[in-house]
């Protein structure tokens, strides 16, 4: 006690000084209670971003050309029918109700592609038809009204018909069919000279026997 009394003034000076030194050496970390969240932690509770997919517009349907054909002869419902580009004779016959029991189908090329304004004729059994298939009258070889020979339509005739033309054999007939598939219809009878092997001399032999209408 005696020492305390003698040194109280010294203690009153040392204690505040010690506290000041302690604060300077170990400052309080106030930032721990007011820390700013990192970007990663800030986004931890955030709602996920929803990316909306843009609707892809539906492709417009391609336009298909329609054509008109006339179906005649031994069919259940002869008449004029609307068909689509790429349809064939068999499709037109279905629209006409199919062939009758009297029809002679061996002259009909069911696989032939249709063309606008085409006439499809189905003969009856026993009817005289010199060549097939029985399509547009221009495509039938034979004697027409008045005893005049009818021409072959090189835009509609099949390989068998083409070979009935003077100067056209199997190879040239196939070449004509291939030309129609790649280049389209002949615009004039002179266009047949575009076929390999058909020159001016051959054309002179067959020009009276062909047509493009």
Residue-level pLDDT at 95:
94
Would you tell me which CATH number, out of the four given (1.50.10.10, 1.10.150.310, 1.10.10.10, 3.50.50.60), belongs to the domain 141-213?
Answer: 1.10.150.310
Q: What are the strands, taking DSSP E only, across the chain?
A: 66-73, 79-84, 118-122, 152-153, 210-211
Residue-level pLDDT at 92:
93
Domain boundaries, the chain: 64-135, 141-213
Do strands 152-153 and 66-73 pair parallel, antiparallel, or not at all (unpaired)?
unpaired
Q: What are phi and psi of 100, to 5 degrees?
A: -85, 175
**Helix, strand, coil % over all residues of the chain, rounded to 5:** 40, 15, 45
Taking the whole predicted model, whether its pTM rises above 0.75 is answered as no
Q: What is the pLDDT of residues 63-116, one digit of tens each?
A: 678 889 888 888 999 989 999 988 999 999 999 999 998 888 877 888 888 888
Sign of CA dihedral 180, 182, 187, 188: negative
Q: pLDDT of the chain along its 213 residues, tens only?
A: 555 566 666 666 767 767 777 666 665 554 445 555 555 555 555 555 665 666 666 655 556 788 898 888 889 999 899 999 889 999 999 999 999 988 888 778 888 888 888 888 888 877 666 544 444 444 433 333 333 446 889 988 888 888 888 788 888 889 999 999 999 999 999 999 999 888 888 888 888 889 887
Looking at domain 64-135, which CATH architecture does it have?
Answer: Roll (3.10)
Question: Is the Cβ–Cβ distance between 122 and 108 less than 8 Å?
Answer: yes
């Amino acid at each position: 006690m005696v020492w305390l009394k003698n040194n109280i003034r010294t203690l009153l000076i040392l204690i505040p000084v010690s506290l000041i030194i302690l604060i300077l050496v170990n400052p309080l970390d106030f930032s721990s209670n007011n820390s700013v969240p990192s970007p990663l932690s800030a986004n931890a509770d955030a709602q996920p971003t929803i990316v909306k997919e843009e609707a892809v517009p539906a492709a417009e349907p391609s336009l298909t050309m329609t054509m008109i054909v006339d179906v005649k002869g031994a069919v259940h419902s002869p008449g004029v029918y609307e068909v689509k580009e790429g349809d064939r004779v068999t499709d037109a016959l279905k629209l006409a109700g199919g062939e009758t029991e009297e029809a002679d189908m061996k002259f009909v090329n069911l696989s032939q592609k249709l063309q606008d304004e085409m006439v499809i004729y189905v003969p009856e059994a026993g009817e005289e038809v010199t060549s097939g298939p029985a399509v547009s009258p221009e495509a039938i070889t034979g004697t027409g009204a008045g005893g005049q020979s009818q021409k072959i339509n090189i835009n509609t005739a099949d390989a068998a018909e083409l070979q009935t033309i003077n100067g056209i054999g199997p190879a040239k007939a196939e070449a004509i069919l291939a030309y129609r598939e790649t280049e389209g219809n002949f615009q004039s009878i002179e266009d047949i000279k575009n076929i390999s092997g058909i020159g001016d001399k051959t054309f002179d032999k067959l020009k009276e026997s062909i047509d493009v209408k």
